[in-house]
Chains A and B, each alone.
Chain A
Amino acid sequence: MLDEKQLLELLANGTPLRDTLEALCRDVEERSSGMLCSVLLVDPDGLHLRHSAAPSLPEDYIRSVDGMAIGPSAACHGTAAYRKSLVIVSDIASDPLWVDYRDLASRHGLASCWSTPIFSSDAKVLGTFAMYYPTPRKPSAEDLEVTERASRIATVAIERKRWEEDRERLYQEMLAYRDRLRALSVANLKAREDEARRIARELHDSAGQILVSVHVALQELMLDVPPAYHARFVDVEKLLKQVEDHLRRISHELRPTILDDLGLKPALEFLARGVSARTGVRITVDSSTGGRLPPLVETALYRIVQEALTNVAKHAKATSVRIELERGGQGFRCVIRDDGCGFDVSGILARQGQRGLGTLGILERLEALGGNLQIISAPGAGTELRITIPQETQDVPPVGRG
């Protein structure tokens, strides 16, 4: 008989469960002339049996048995599933268990039958394995042994298949979750950026305009007041200027209006001047992109360079940084290269994973746009970040699989 090894080979080759169980039935049937086998599986509702494999039983019989209710007197199969034990009927014609199926069986020349439950490894009934003979008879010791072994092999086949199905289902669920996470991350990034833009505009433009009006009103007033008061006015103007500078700084830190009004290159130059002034690192920005890029790409590249420069300031001990922007046939390229201390990329990846590189924010931005980051660095040799973003980046970023 088909042994477990052969069975697992069949399953490993991706053979459908039904074909495997049919092979098992045929294999058993070869042992004795006239003997027929069938496998029924418990329906997901737990109340009925469904046809699975019966390579030699007539179509009409198979159709009539398919869907049989599990119960205390449901031929051999339904009863075996109900009792959770072997049911032997040596004469179908006279056995009360077969009262509903007696005529059907006799029409197809089936005279005796025994059926055993196929148990799962945690002792639940998965289905039944049955043997039929064309004459009334009791099972031989060998018949019973073969029935028992066949049901155990069926257990392996069914569980293996269900395990594969579960694994595939979980995998698909995992992919769906991953896609949802990505979509959420994209939505979250967008929401944060919109909020930053809105607040930055409010501070810079709305509040800024009002403060300018106050400033101008003060100047006008100053024309009408005696010179003795002028010093006091100048003091108030100084305070006003401090408020303006403060609001302007907060606004630019949130999201510089230059990015939306003038584009990526001026915004990066503005950012670079600020970082240079704070850290003393010389920063140059070169761009051959010519004109504006898609808004999502401009925002992403601005934030990416911002994070990269923060990393340089924190860790690199660099004296200069060069930022290059290019537009190619495939999309947009940005290279950020510093002359700092560099680091062992693969060593850090092995010890700390992606987190250790301090580029999670960059990766989050890039993932949302289907972009890519490459880090080239070695101790003493500076660090280079190569970023590519595909051209076809749309307003609704693709949530790719990969």
Chain B
Amino acid sequence: MRQLLEKALGAPIVLEAKDGEEALRLTWAHLPRVVVMDITMPRMNGLQATKKIKAECPETKIIILTIHKEEAYREAAMESGADAFLDKHAILTDLVPTVRDVLGQPHA
């Protein structure tokens, strides 16, 4: 995913967090323009982390990327303040366009 994003976006820095709490720390430290967030994570799940990030850094765009397909997860993601919801199966085709979408960039 890192390669995919760096290659497609020419993004200078892509940070990785291993759980929700680390995601919060890194986000607050680096104020990235976009966060790609899993739901199932140790310590703090992606929905809770999204809520907290959006409360502190509303400018940061958040894409929920998950294996959960149920509509309830999509609704919960939107309620938590996420900007997009993406099925992991579509990562190859949809991740980069979705990142561009939330950043308001034209598609390549």
Give chain A's interface residues, CB within 8 Å of chain B. Answer: 204-205, 208-209, 212, 215-216, 219-220, 248, 257-258, 261-262, 266-267, 269-270
Which residue of the partner chain, among B45, B76, B92, contacts A266 with CB atoms under 8 Å? B76
User: Could you list 13 A-B pairs, sorted by A, with CB under 8 Å?
Assistant: A212-B67, A215-B89, A216-B88, A216-B89, A216-B91, A216-B92, A257-B68, A261-B47, A261-B68, A261-B76, A262-B76, A266-B75, A267-B72
Q: Which residue of B lies closest to A208 (CB)?
A: B67
Evaluate contact between A262 and B89: CB separation under 8 angstroms. no
Instruction: Give the residue of A205, A215, A216, A258 whose beta carbon is less than 8 angstroms from that of B70.
Output: A258
Q: Which residues of chain B are within 8 angstroms of A258 by Cβ–Cβ distance?
A: 70, 72-73
- In the complex, whether B98 has a CB less than 8 A from a CB of chain A is no
Closest to B47 in A: A261
Residues of A within 8 A of B47 (CB): 261-262
- For this complex, into which size category does the number of interface residues on chain B fall? 10 to 19
- Kindly state the separation between the CA atoms of A212 and B45 in the bound complex, as whole angstroms: 19
The smallest C-beta distance from B35 to any residue of chain A, in angstroms, reads 19
CA distance A128 to B10 in the complex (A): 105
- Contact indicator A205/B72 (Cβ below 8 Å): no
- Nearest-neighbour CB distance to chain A for B1, whole angstroms, equals 9
The 9 A-B residue pairs whose C-beta atoms are closest, nearest first, are A266-B72, A212-B88, A208-B67, A219-B92, A262-B76, A205-B40, A212-B67, A258-B72, A215-B89
Interface residues of B in 61-92 (CB under 8 A from A): 67-70, 72-73, 75-76, 88-89, 91-92
Interface of B is mostly: helix
List A contacts of B75 (CB < 8 A).
Answer: 266
Check if B49 is an interface residue, CB within 8 A of chain A.
Answer: no
Residues of A within 8 A of B70 (CB): 258, 270
Contact check, A269 vs B89: say whether CB atoms are below 8 A apart: no
Chain B CB within 10 Å, residue with most, of A205, A220, A257, A261? A261
Contact yes or no, B73 A261, CB < 8 A: yes
Q: Which residues of B lie under 8 Å from residue A212 when comparing CB positions?
A: 67, 88-89
Is residue B39 within 8 Å, beta carbon to beta carbon, of the partner chain?
yes
A261-B67 in contact given A216-B92, A220-B92, A270-B72 (Cβ < 8 Å): no
Instruction: Give the docked Cα–Cα distance between A269 and B91 (Å).
Output: 28
